[in-house]
Amino acid sequence: MKILVINTGSSSVKYQLFDMVTEEVLATGMAERIGEDSGKLTHQVMVKNGTHQKRVIEDLNIDHREGMEKITELLTDPEHGVITDKSEISAVGHRVVHGGETFQAPIIIDEKVILEIRKNTPLAPLHNPANLTGIRVAMSIFPGAPQVAVFDTAFHQTLPRHAYVYALPYDLYKNHQVRRYGFHGTSHAYVAEKSAEYLKRPLSELNLITLHLGNGASMAAIKDGQCVDTSMGLTPLEGLVMGTRTGDIDPAIPFFLANHLNMSLDEIDGLLNKESGLKGICGANDMRVVLERAEKEDDLAQLALEVYTYRIKKYIGAYVAVLGRLDALIFTGGIGENSPVIRERCCRDLSCLNIEIDADKNNSSGDPLRQISPSGSNVRVLVVPTNEELKIARETKKVVTGT
Ligand code: ADP
């Protein structure tokens, strides 16, 4: 069984084709800068010995449909293709950012589902319309394949209401669905499952804190295998410090910016989402650059690291209080998986919570999935590489075949 996973953005389509018997990736790639003259399509075929065969097509001016058609041509190319005909694709799994309160699990897409995803557009005005474009295009290019929506928000739908209701007038929740939703759910769910496998314990018995630290960043508190709190809110702006997003700030700051600096709503939106976070403090949003500069004694880069890891420590403390007992703390995402410095800073002086890191294990580049806490420690600290595409492929298979 072959499943195509698609992640459609407003100007990009990322894709991976899986063989679900082996769970191997057969091909992966991305069409980017859609709608511009400088559009580019990068397509990689996985060759048996673990090497990649890469094709890059540049200076394309394509829309989403043409992008998907090109991708299909490359997948079925007689010389380098990985399938002979597009009908070999049994199902298509779509990442959909906002499922609101309607979707608590992946679902086969029909016109009713499309309507409901569209209804959630006010909650994700940039993402849901792009996801719907990808769905429409894939439905027409692969008419025989069931299309499945896998929602970023679904894993967090188990939050108890005291964790998702904001202290705003209650009718804003009742009538306008203003509440905490949380994002990165597919990643939090995937690493929680991998951790349970690694620890050889049922997920339903585990209390976990998962830290997804990528360009965007979020944490989840997982009790007996179910998500009970998460740091992102109505939108992905709340919570941790991110590459360019503020995370938590005093909600009165936007009024100050409007009243004293005459900023418009759009300007404030841009400032909080695109000009803040690590970039706002030290000018760089890429954590590798921030770390390099901090090592060279750049004061603002050091401050950015301090603010970034201090926020995470506060959330760890809060989530231990929420959970009562913690079995494992899990790092994932580009930063969580690759930066021993950040992991060490997040866990520094947390032995009062039984959280400790073994410096050698933290610095070693052994197995990608590994324990970095000392042997015998009460709280296991793990590094678990995330794989959202594989999780979407698995969920798609489960919905389509029932297994
Ligand atoms: P996205 O959220 O877009 O999927 P990723 O999960 O790939 O992003 O994470 C991107 C972040 O990971 C960037 O800030 C990048 O600097 C950081 N990163 C990648 N490799 C390393 C590394 N070796 N050390 C520190 N940070 C890293």
Predicted confidence at residue 126, as pLDDT, reads 85
User: CB within 8 A of 95, min separation 6: which ones?
Assistant: 5, 6, 7, 8, 131, 150, 152, 186, 388, 392
The predicted-structure confidence for 62-110, as pLDDT tens digits, reads as follows 999 999 999 999 999 988 789 999 999 999 999 999 999 999 999 999 9
Q: In what order do the strands lie in the sheet with 2-8?
A: 52-60, 39-46, 24-32, 13-19, 2-8, 89-96, 147-151, 107-108
Predicted confidence at residue 12, as pLDDT, reads 92
Q: 368: CA distance to ligand 1 center in Å?
A: 15
Predicted confidence at residue 370, as pLDDT, reads 96
The predicted-structure confidence for 263-304, as pLDDT tens digits, reads as follows 999 999 999 999 999 999 999 999 999 999 999 999 999 999
Q: In what order do the strands lie in the sheet with 328-332?
A: 226-230, 217-223, 208-213, 328-332, 380-383, 370-371
Q: 340: CA distance to ligand 1 center in Å?
A: 12
The verdict on residue 292 lying in a domain is: yes
Instruction: Round to whole Å and give the CA distance between 328 and 331.
Output: 10
Instruction: Residue 43: give its domain's CATH number.
Output: 3.30.420.40
Instruction: Round to whole Å and give the CA distance between 229 and 223.
Output: 9
Instruction: Round to whole Å and give the CA distance between 26 and 142.
Output: 18
Q: Which of 110, 128, 151 is the last residue of a domain?
A: 151
Range of the domain at 12: 2-151
Q: Are residues 145 and 207 in the same domain?
A: no
Q: Are residues 230 and 372 in the same domain?
A: yes
Q: Are residues 228 and 310 in the same domain?
A: yes
The CA-atom distances, in angstroms, between 230 and each of 51, 223, 235, 246 are 38, 12, 12, 16
The verdict on residue 161 lying in a domain is: no
Instruction: Round to whole Å and give the CA distance between 396 and 157.
Output: 19
Q: Are residues 309 and 208 in the same domain?
A: yes
The predicted-structure confidence for 124-147, as pLDDT tens digits, reads as follows 888 999 999 999 999 999 999 999
Per-residue tokens: 221: 């508190």
Region 356-366: what's the mean pLDDT? 94
Atom in ligand 1 nearest the alpha carbon of residue 290 = 16
Q: Are residues 110 and 247 in the same domain?
A: no
Q: Are residues 135 and 273 in the same domain?
A: no
Domains held by the chain: number:
2
The predicted-structure confidence for 150-189, as pLDDT tens digits, reads as follows 999 999 999 999 999 999 999 999 999 999 999 999 999 9
Instruction: Round to whole Å and give the CA distance between 13 and 192.
Output: 27
Q: Are residues 249 and 340 in the same domain?
A: yes
The verdict on residue 377 lying in a domain is: yes
Neighbours of 383 (CB within 10 A): 22
pTM: 0.95
The verdict on residue 397 lying in a domain is: no
Q: Are residues 238 and 307 in the same domain?
A: yes
The verdict on residue 351 lying in a domain is: yes
The verdict on residue 373 lying in a domain is: yes
Q: Are residues 246 and 140 in the same domain?
A: no
Instruction: Round to whole Å and give the CA distance between 136 and 128.
Output: 12
Out of 37, 63, 77, 152, the active site residue is: 152
Phi-psi region of 32 (alpha: psi -120 to 50; beta: other; left: phi over 0): beta
Q: 163: CA distance to ligand 1 center in Å?
A: 29
The verdict on residue 109 lying in a domain is: yes
Beta strands in 152-225 (DSSP E): 208-213, 217-223
The verdict on residue 395 lying in a domain is: no
Atom in ligand 1 nearest the alpha carbon of residue 291 = 25
